[in-house]
Amino acid sequence: MGHPAEVEVLSKALSGIGVDEKSLVSILTKSHHEHKISIRRGCSQLFFEDERQFERWNDDAIKTLKGEFKRFKNAVVLSLMHPWERDARLLKKALKKGPQQYGVIIEIACTRSSEELLGARKAYHSLFERSIEEDLAAHIKGSERKLLVALVSAYRYEGPKVKGDTAKSEAKALLNAIKNADKRRLIEDEEVIRILTTRSKPHLKEVYEQFKKICGKSITELSCS
C-alpha cells in the first residue's frame, strides 16, 4: 500500500500548479502494481471509479497536468539554450501567435541590453534566414507595427549621462502627443516612437520625472485618464 505521506507528496506534485519532478521520480520509480493502485486511490483529484467501478483518470485534471509537464519541459529547454537563441525563438513564437503575444516582443526589446538584443537579432537571422525586423514588418498589420519594428531595431546608449534640457524638451513633446491623442494614436506618433526607442533608460527616467513636474501627473496617469 502507498504510504499516506507519499500520497500527499504526489498529490501536491500533481496538483496542476507546477510539477515536482524530483518527488515524482523518487516515488514512482520504486512503485509496483499494488503500490500504484493505492496511489491512484489517494489522488482522487486525478483518478476515480466510474459507474462500472472502472478506475480511470479525470480527463480535465490530466489535461491540466499535461500542460504543466509541457511548461516544465519548455522551461528546462529554454534555460539550457543560449540566451540569444532563446529570445529569437520566443520572438518567432510571439509573432506566430499574433497580437495577444506582442507583449513578449516588447518585453524582450525593452529589458535586454543593446548587445543582448543585437545577439537575439543575429540568432533570429541564423535560425530562420530572415531578420526579425523583416518578419515584424510583414506580419504585423496594425498601428503598432512601426513602434515594434523600431523597438527591436534599437541599439541604445547605456551609459549614465543624461541631458536635462533635452529630457525636459522631450517630456513636453510627450505631453503634447498625449493631448493630441484623439487625432493620432500615441503609438503612431513619430516623436513618441523616436523617444521611446532611441533613448537610454536613465534618460527616459529623467523624461518621465520632467513630465510629472510639468503637468503634475505621471505619464501613466495622464495617458490612461
More confident residue, 141 or 46: 141
Mean pLDDT computed over 146-175: 94
Please say if the pLDDT value at position 176 is more than 80.
Answer: yes
> Would you state the pLDDT for residue 2?
45
Q: What is the DSSP string of 51-83?
A: TT--EEE-HHHHHHHHHHHHHHHHHHHHHHS-H
Going along the chain from its start, the domains and CATH numbers come out as 4-75 (no CATH), 82-153 (1.10.220.10), 164-224 (1.10.220.10)
The closest alpha carbon to 90, from 65, 56, 120, belongs to: 120
Distance, in Å, from the CA atom of 170 to the CA atom of 192, rounded to the nearest integer, reads 9
**pLDDT band, very low/low/confident/very high, at 1 (cuts 50, 70, 90):** very low
The CA distance from 210 to 171, in Å, is 6
d(CA 81, CA 121): 15
pLDDT tens track for 86-120 = 999 999 999 999 999 999 999 999 999 999 999 99
pTM exceeds 0.95, yes or no: no
Does 8 have pLDDT greater than 90? no
User: pLDDT tier at 181 (50, 70, 90 boundaries)?
Assistant: confident
Residue-level pLDDT at 7: 58
Give the rounded percent of residues in the chain with a pLDDT score beyond 70: 74
Asked if residue 148 has pLDDT above 50, the reply is yes
- Rounded to the nearest integer, the mean pLDDT of the chain is 83
